[in-house]
Structure 1
């Protein structure tokens, strides 16, 4: 959920969201590493019986997510919920 939606739902449950930590930029680096590892493993992926369509789908997904995190279109966060 969005940060606002999370705060609203938490409030409905009698909780307060505190200490938000956004780390999408860090996650972009994680996705870059996953992408590099995937590329290095493509021959094994094909040998397991997956086709080029599968490989393209994962290339697209990893690149899309990485770009979204790098540019702030999507994010990931960790929060503390307090009573």
Structure 2
């Protein structure tokens, strides 16, 4: 996780889960900042301290990271279930 702030246990768990996701197979080190921002915004939403712009930014980042069905479609990604 990027340095510069104290990450909570829940944020660390979300970070690990995101980097274990099928989408993470398409990410490289250039995605670290975007994933970190997603984690920060998600944390604010989960603890009810998020502003409207943070919720909107999380939605945008989720799409750009391929974490939503619409984002996956836009990126041309398909997760095959076996």
TM over 0.5: no
TM-score by length of 1: 0.30
> Which protein has the bigger strand share?
1
Q: Which has the larger radius of gyration?
A: 1
